[in-house]
Structure 1
Amino acid sequence: MLHFVIIGAGECGARAAFALREKGFNGDITLIGAEPVAPYERPPLSKEGLVLAHEPKFVAALEHYADQRIDLRVSTHATDIDPIGKVVTLSDGEQLSYDKLLLATGASARSFPGIIGTGELIRMLRTHADATALRPALLPGRHIAIIGGGFIGLELAATARKLGADVTVIEGLPRVLKRGVPEAVAEVITQRHRDEGVDIRCGETIAAVEEGATGAIVRLGDGEELSADLVLIGIGAQPNVALAEKAGLAVDNGIAVNERLETSAADIYAAGDCCSFPLALYGGRRVRLESWRNAQEQGTLAAANLLGAGDSISAVPWFWSDQYDLTLQIAGLADGATTMLRRDLGEGAFILFHLDETGRLLAASGIGRGNAVARDIRLAEMLIAARARPDPEALTASHVKLKSLLAA
């Protein structure tokens, strides 16, 4: 009987395991996870999961793994892969032979190089255990300093304010969300945070972070000292590639895979946050995506290809972030855009369309309260997938339905 092994029991690995059964695979499946709990969703950790901080939001009930004959191993990690002998060695010394292997090792929180370690008062957020440890510190009257004005840092800031803590966000770049969001969208988010009382400091350098007996001190480059009850590091994530590198697999900003999620070693695939892949929709540009939807989609695609489908990645990158009552959604990749057009949707909501020099729609970025931008971002996503060159005037005219542009 065939044996498929999946290393990494996160959203992607779990989705792949269940998808294998949904697609009719009747062999053995072993799903290996380093954390002591069943696979869970990570996006809530910086949002409602941090507010509640009880049980995580599980991908599936524990009994469902048994029902589907998925051998879930928690509190276990792989230490070695032998691509020639097709053997995985586990942390307890057990060796598992595999017919095909999927690496869904995810990513880890990025530390502040050369300056910051972690401790009781200096923390990062990547796991449910991290969220559980953070929750008691996010109380009224406490001051939280967040290093990083990206999505994680700002989502943490919004949640901390909801819980009553005072918050300072320190960002080294000239504005928040510099790498992934247009300035007009970032301005809306920045103002919303400031309206909630968050002190956002951009263009700052950090000389040191020191942990004392009763609090932490963040020393800025200009000599100013900020006292905090807790410092949160939210400066992004780095792919977990050590196991793949040790096995001799190609690595390029993540485990390098082709359009079918195949690594440089036979019968070994990689998917989710840990891998980089060529995206045909953007001229074969190699990208790595850290998003909930990508983890789900690539888990399903990996399952199909483990079974020999040979399908290629075709999904449009998509990302969202909830902060207070605002929801930000982004479809596509704006790199290479030469034109940006704005479509106002009312009550402050709007979408920015990013087009290249030929008029092709590359990306759309929208922000508004609740689900104000969801429908139009979904339609924009479909236009991007179709490589459409919509009429610019129609894109900006709020009375023209995007669905009509898709039909055209």
Structure 2
Amino acid sequence: MNAAPAPLIIVGAGHAGGRAALTLRQQGYDGRLLLIGDEAHAPYERPSLSKGALQGTAELDGYRLSAPEELSRLGIEHWAGRPVQALDTQGKQVHLADGSCLAYSGLLLATGGSARRLPGVAAGWSNVRYLRTHDEAVALRASLVGGSRLVVVGGGFIGLEVAASARAMGCTVTLLEAGPRLAGRVLPAQVSQALLTLHAHQGVDVRLNARIQAFEGNDRVERVRLEDGSCIACDGVVAGIGMQPNVDLARAAGLTVGQGIRVDVYLRSSDPHVFAAGDVCEFRLHPQGEFQRQETWRNAELQGRHAALNLLGAEEPFQQVPGFWSDQYDHGLQTVGLLRDGPASARRAQPGGFLLFYLDDQQRLQGACGWGAGNSVAKDIKLCERLILAGQPLAAGPLADPAISLKTLLRN
């Protein structure tokens, strides 16, 4: 009698890992399927953590990918709170911290990342918080009481969204950004300025080029001292200074690692039986392009699905247009494609906002960014994605002219 084949194993039960598991079942895989994660919760999406989860308008049931009962019904074995300690790629085995060992026929690493820790903070200070998990969101929400003084370190999307949520809950917020503008690593200068204007209007004390000299206090941070000599009294600190991809397992197993787990066009690592997806995955958008990681909802969703298909032998290249969004108070920001450094090729005024367009050397649209009230730019950004995929030369003049619809440019 033949032994049952080894299962497919997904290490990392976040968004990418959870989506991959669900996709495997949707595609008809009926073999044993294990989803192993450090957290106690079933897979969930992270964007709500800094918004609805903090403000108390969204609970875990509203942003998880699948209820535990549904995972069980689908025959997905969710091993929650079971950290993986090591990988044996030669023996095709996964070793867990509890001493158990599992063989696999195919392996997906969707290990995500961990919030970067603030340097200079004493161990055990209770009012220094991070935001990467549901449990961290719950703990942070309990501390955001009206009138409390919050210092947010980091002017990227996590820091900005936490600042917006804290203001909505009546907190006094000071935001410290070490660079010369907000979200400067990923956004055009015009959008950074729009963010600065909006947050200042909402009462956030935004300090750019702010260098921290020390965190002061006894068993908690009571003051943040800056290099310019100023001192900010506070009741709590939230760090939003980026994340560190969880590559230790892959590196120790001998897989090729750069800033993440490096994969080929099929999301396959340097071992043919091991794939990677999500925040930890380092890939090329184009065959001759630079390796990059994308820490976005869109990337986790699309790569989770795609890795599942290729685990089943599809051999389909991953060729998706990148993009992300962020909600800031009553405004929305959306991007699609690649936003190069420097000025935009064209700017289109919108009621209460604008669209920026970026053309390549052949005058083809390669990226676009929209800013406006609510969800007002969503439709245009979707049309921009279709223009990017069409790959036809475009003139800057019509792109900048609000009287010419993007749908017309697409038809032409």
TM-score range, shorter chain: over 0.9
**Which of 242, 252, 256 in structure 2 is aligned with 1:250?**
256
For 1:311, the equivalent position in structure 2 comes to: 316
Which deviations, in whole Å up to 9, do the C-alpha atoms of 1:43-98 show, x marking residues without a partner?
10000111127535211111111111100010111101000000001121111100
Residue deviations 1:232-290, cap 9 Å, x none?
A: 1001112110111111111011000111000011200000000100112x843311000
Question: Please, what TM-score do these two structures have when normalized by structure 2?
Answer: 0.95
Deviation at 1:175, TM superposition (A): 1.1
Contact 2:247 2:257 in 1 (8 A): yes
* Partner SS, residue 163 of structure 2: helix
Match of 1:220 among 226, 233, 255: 226
Q: 1:197 to 1:337 in 2, by over 3 A?
A: closer
Q: Return the alpha-carbon distance in structure 2 between the equivalents of residues 118 and 368 of structure 1.
A: 41
3-state SS of the aligned residue for 2:363? coil
CA contact (8 A) 1:11 1:39 kept: yes
Q: 1:183 and 1:338 mapped to 2: Cα distance?
A: 8
The equivalences for 1:268-287 within 5 A come to 268-280=274-286, 283-287=288-292
The Cα shift of 1:119 comes to: 3.0
Q: Report whether the alignment pairs 1:292 with 2:297.
A: yes
Aligned length: 406
1:403 maps onto 2:396 in alignment: no
Task: Tell me by how many angstroms 1:327 deviates.
Answer: 0.5
Structure-2 residue corresponding to 1:96: 102
Match of residue 207 from structure 1: 213
Quote the offset at 1:370 in angstroms.
Answer: 1.3
Give yes or no for contact 2:146–2:171 (8 Å, CA) kept in 1: yes
Higher mean C-alpha deviation, range 239-248 or range 329-338? 329-338
Q: 2:24 aligns with which of 17, 20, 26?
A: 20
The percentage of counterpart residues that share the same residue type is: 44
The CA deviation string for residues 188-209 of structure 1, in whole angstroms up to 9 with x for no partner, is 1111111111000001111111
Confirm or deny that 1:302 pairs with 2:307.
Answer: yes
Residue of structure 1 in register with 2:388 after alignment = 384
> Partner letter of residue 134 of structure 1?
L
Distance in 1, matches of 2:377 and 2:280, equals 29
Q: 2:39 aligns to what?
A: 35
Q: Distance in 2 between matches of 1:232 and 1:351?
A: 31
Pair 1:149-2:161 in alignment:
no
Q: Shift in Å at residue 136 of structure 1? A: 1.9
CA distance in 2, matches of 1:149, 1:171: 5
Structure 1 residue 213 displacement after superposition: 4.5
* Amino acid in the other structure paired with 2:328: Q
Deviations 1:164-198 (A, max 9, x none): 00000000111111111111111111111111110
**Distance in 2 (alpha carbons) for counterparts of 1:283 and 1:69:** 40
Alignment partner, residue 6 of structure 1: 10
2:166 aligned residue (146, 160, 181): 160
Report if the CA contact (8 A) 1:83-1:266 is conserved.
no
Which residue matches 1:50? 54
Counterpart check, 1:323 vs 2:328: yes
Paired position in structure 1 for 2:363: 359
Q: What secondary structure is seen at the aligned counterpart in 1 of 2:200?
A: helix
Q: 2:309 corresponds to which letter in structure 1? A: A
| Deviation larger for 211-220 or 236-245 | 211-220
Deviation for aligned residue 1:229: 0.3
Using the alignment, how far apart are the partners of 1:252 and 1:407 within structure 2?
42
Unmatched 5+ residue regions in structure 2?
none
Residue 324 of structure 2 aligns to a residue whose secondary structure is: strand
Q: Which runs of 5+ in 1 are unaligned?
A: none
**Structure 1 residues 185, 62: CA separation in 2 closer, same or farther (over 3 Å shift)?**
same
Which TM-score applies when normalising by structure 1? 0.96
RMSD across aligned C-alpha pairs, in angstroms? 1.6
Q: Is the aligned partner of 1:259 residue 2:265?
A: yes
What letter is aligned with 2:323? W
| Deviation, structure 1 residue 322 | 0.3
Matches within 5 A, 1:96-135: 96-113=102-119, 119-135=125-141
CA separation of 1:77/1:197 partners in 2, compared to 1, >3 Å: closer, same or farther?
A: same
Question: CA, structure 1 residues 311+381, in 2 after alignment: closer, same or farther (shift >3 Å)?
Answer: same
Q: Which moved further from structure 2: 113-122 or 169-178?
A: 113-122
Q: Which moved further from structure 2: 208-217 or 144-153?
A: 208-217
* Matches of 1:10 and 1:214, distance apart in 2: 31
